[in-house]
């Protein structure tokens, strides 16, 4: 049973910045005192003259529920008997100037449905998880040499009911998870689910870091969603936003009448690009709050990983600020040393408790060693979004194919650094909003060519080393950019081209799952070699992806022009026969049907610095994947075993 007063050791660790389960101490928790059941409320408000608890249970009059200051550095606590599950509450804070502010609980587990802003009492414990097999399996495999193909989802707009109402967590568990599994994805990445007041912030400007949004149901409903994902073999990654928070009055801004969670200096606190405030990483209590929050989602909701948003905005003091507002650190630099130390401490702490967790940095900067361990001088993440690859590829794909030959380096430059970090290749929501157009509508050419261009982009992405991420709607070629108040254009599946695109992505995803060469050595140079990186005149690239089995490899050929090549010679590393394992140009996908229908037999004619070569058909705007004949591979294996 929880003590009626927070323990002195917990308070010491909280103020030291190392109470990493502070959500078990702070906030509202059911307990008993002298045989009476009630709730212990605990909040950090060091500048407050007085703090009161107000809520349904006292008719929003806190005069009888004045909290006790239980630490020198400003923690307040009070046991209130008779409070029931689901009741609403806030903190009424008397500032040093005698004014009153009303704040939601920073550690609340549940919030009033918008537009309400109160916190709700909620018993978070008691859900019976059924994902034991998933959790056990996760400990047996490193993610580095496993497939990872992520479907990024905004729950409020993936699909809506006829009346425009949201699907609940439990309804999405039935609709979304089966769809993701059918499409061949390994993970769902959820855009931020921490409670937030404004739908069009997409969750990135939060008020309730410990409260999964009530838009779609209760915290236990969300637990059910995650549980069902795991039972279906789908991992769950959640966007997490430690860089900034929203300014709404009931949130963290000037929580006790003065800057508390944010920097005292407005120049350091303000994020003018987003109209938000930065967390103050010099305050130990803020470190306890944030690292505990990361662990909270892993502890209580069994989340498999966190995609840490806007890491560059933490690393640099002047990120997104006009030059006239620039400031410098004590050494005259642009770096934010406290935030850098926070990121290192975050990753060290999380990995100490969850060695197989996914900690992904969404970092648009060129900061070195983002995915290197802290002891090796890194930030300690295990994955980083490859924003350079994404920008180069989209710039290239938006060009008319006639002019692509002059920018061939955009296709190949990423291989100069692809092994410098453990990368995820993202085609995320950020690329299909704010007038940027949908992925399909970025593609040049006529209607047919748009779809063909998108197919070759996806094929090249699947062949490129690195884990994969695609935003919802991209799998069926959503034509309009993402509308953050409407659901996806599911009606487009009534048209052959969009339905063919969905078939294509489904089959490409399942091919990815089946072929170890596409993921087992993602982060090792031994897993990749060029056949021809320099055919800029024809805008064709060809390369080999390899697994740990020397006989298990794929040859990937991508044609970025609408020209068909018959009898095209390509170098191959082994003699024998090659079969067409995959072709983006088959008619069911909407292609023109240019295929390699029979085995391709090698010739003892060296080409592309390879000892052998084959002649093949390369379709227009297409990806073709060749694989050594199985019979040939078996013969090679038998010969090797005979010695």
H helices of 468-592, where?
496-514
The Cα-based distances of 35 to 31, 82, 235, 594 in angstroms read 10, 11, 42, 78
Q: Comparing C-alpha atoms, which of 293, 279, 98 is closest to residue 192?
A: 293
- 34 in the Ramachandran plot: left (φ > 0), alpha (ψ -120 to 50) or beta? left
**Distance between CA atoms of residues 392 and 409, nearest Å:** 9
54: part of which helix (H) or strand (E)?
A: strand 50-55
Contact at 8 Å (CB) between 383 and 361?
yes
Burial class (CB in 10 A: 0-12, 13-18, 19+), 525: exposed
* Phi/psi at 55 (5° precision): 180, -170
Contact at 8 Å (CB) between 494 and 477?
no
- Rounded to 5°, the CA angle 468-474-476 comes to 125
Query: Which two tokens mark 504?
Result: 């294509």
**Distance between CA atoms of residues 37 and 46, nearest Å:** 28
Contact at 8 Å (CB) between 237 and 301?
no
* Tokens 């900034």, residue located: 244
**Secondary structure, 3-state, 294-328:** HHHHHHHHCCCEEEECCHHHHHECCCCCCHHHCCC
**3-state secondary structure at position 411:** helix
**Distance between CA atoms of residues 340 and 598, nearest Å:** 56
Side-chain-facing half-sphere of 538: CA atoms under 13 Å: 18
**Distance between CA atoms of residues 470 and 150, nearest Å:** 6
What residues pair up with 238 in beta bridges, in sequence order? 190, 306
**Distance between CA atoms of residues 274 and 206, nearest Å:** 12
Contact at 8 Å (CB) between 53 and 266?
no
> Any idea which residues carry the catalytic annotation?
309, 362
- In this structure, are strands 235-240 and 305-308 parallel, antiparallel, or unpaired? parallel
Query: Which two tokens mark 243?
Result: 């860089």
- The number of angstroms, rounded, from the C-alpha of 438 to the middle of its chain's C-alpha atoms is 19
Side-chain-facing half-sphere of 99: CA atoms under 13 Å: 8
**3-state secondary structure at position 170:** helix
Torsion, Cα of 586, 587, 589, 594 (10° steps)? 30
Q: Using the CB atoms, write b or e for 528-542: b if 16+ within 10 Å.
A: beebbeeebebbbbb
What residues pair up with 55 in beta bridges, in sequence order? 89
- The number of angstroms, rounded, from the C-alpha of 312 to the middle of its chain's C-alpha atoms is 15
Contact at 8 Å (CB) between 419 and 434?
no
Contact at 8 Å (CB) between 265 and 281?
no
468: part of which helix (H) or strand (E)?
A: strand 467-471
């Amino acid at each position: 049973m929880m003590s009626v007063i927070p323990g002195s050791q917990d308070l010491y660790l909280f103020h030291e910045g190392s109470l990493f389960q502070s959500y078990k101490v702070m906030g509202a928790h059911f307990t008993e005192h002298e045989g009476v059941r009630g709730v212990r409320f605990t909040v950090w408000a060091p500048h407050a003259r007085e703090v009161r608890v107000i809520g349904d249970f006292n008719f929003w009059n806190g005069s009888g529920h004045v909290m006790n200051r239980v630490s020198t550095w400003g923690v307040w606590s009070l046991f209130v008997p008779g409070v029931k599950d689901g009741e609403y509450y806030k903190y009424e804070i008397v500032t040093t100037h005698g004014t009153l502010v009303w704040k939601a609980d920073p550690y609340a587990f549940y919030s009033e449905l918008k537009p309400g802003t109160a916190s709700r009492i909620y018993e978070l414990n008691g859900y019976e998880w059924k994902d034991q097999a998933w959790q056990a399996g996760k400990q047996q495999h490193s993610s580095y040499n496993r497939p990872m193909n992520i479907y990024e989802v905004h729950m409020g707009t993936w699909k809506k009911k006829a009346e425009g109402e949201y699907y609940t967590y439990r309804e999405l568990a039935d609709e979304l998870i089966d769809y993701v599994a059918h499409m061949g994805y390994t993970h769902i990445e959820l855009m931020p689910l921490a409670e937030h007041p404004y739908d069009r912030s997409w969750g990135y400007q939060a008020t309730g870091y410990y409260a999964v949004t009530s838009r779609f149901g209760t915290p236990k409903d969300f637990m059910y969603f995650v549980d069902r994902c795991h039972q279906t073999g789908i991992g769950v990654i959640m966007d997490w936003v430690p860089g900034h928070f929203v300014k709404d009055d009931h949130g963290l801004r000037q929580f006790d009448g003065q800057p508390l969670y944010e920097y005292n200096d407005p120049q350091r606190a303000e994020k003018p690009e987003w109209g938000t405030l930065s967390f103050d990483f010099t305050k130990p209590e803020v470190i306890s709050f944030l690292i505990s929050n990361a662990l909270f989602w892993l502890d209580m909701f069994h989340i498999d990983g966190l995609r840490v948003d806007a890491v560059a905005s933490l690393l640099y003091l002047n990120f997104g600020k006009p030059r006239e507002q620039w400031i410098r650190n004590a050494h005259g630099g642009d770096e934010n040393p406290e935030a850098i130390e926070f990121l290192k401490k975050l990753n060290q702490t999380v990995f100490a408790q969850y060695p197989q967790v996914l900690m992904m940095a969404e970092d648009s900067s060129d900061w070195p060693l983002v995915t290197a361990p802290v002891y090796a001088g890194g930030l300690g993440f295990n994955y980083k979004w490859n924003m350079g690859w994404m920008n180069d590829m989209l710039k290239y794909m938006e060009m008319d194919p006639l002019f692509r030959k002059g920018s061939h380096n955009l296709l190949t430059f990423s291989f100069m650094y692809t092994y410098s970090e453990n990368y995820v290749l993202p085609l995320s929501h950020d690329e299909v909003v704010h007038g940027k157009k949908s992925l399909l509508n970025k593609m040049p050419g006529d209607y047919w060519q748009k779809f063909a261009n998108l197919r070759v982009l996806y094929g090249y992405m699947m062949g490129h080393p690195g884990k994969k991420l695609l935003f919802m709607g991209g799998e069926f070629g959503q034509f309009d950019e993402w509308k953050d108040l409407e659901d996806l254009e599911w009606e487009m599946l009534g048209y052959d081209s969009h339905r063919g695109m969905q078939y294509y992505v489904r089959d490409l995803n399942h091919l990815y799952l089946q072929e170890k060469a596409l993921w087992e050595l993602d982060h090792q140079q031994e897993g990749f070699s060029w056949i021809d990186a320099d055919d800029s005149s024809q805008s064709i690239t060809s390369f080999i992806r390899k697994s740990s089995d020397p006989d298990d490899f794929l040859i990937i050929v991508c044609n970025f022009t609408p020209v068909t090549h018959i009898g095209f010679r390509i170098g191959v590393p082994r003699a024998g026969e090659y079969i067409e394992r995959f072709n983006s140009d088959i008619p069911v996908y909407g292609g023109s049907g240019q295929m390699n229908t029979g085995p391709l037999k090698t010739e003892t004619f060296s080409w592309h610095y390879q000892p052998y070569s084959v002649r093949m058909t390369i379709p227009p705007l297409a990806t073709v994947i060749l694989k050594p004949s199985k019979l040939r591979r078996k013969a090679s294996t038998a010969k090797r075993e005979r010695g």
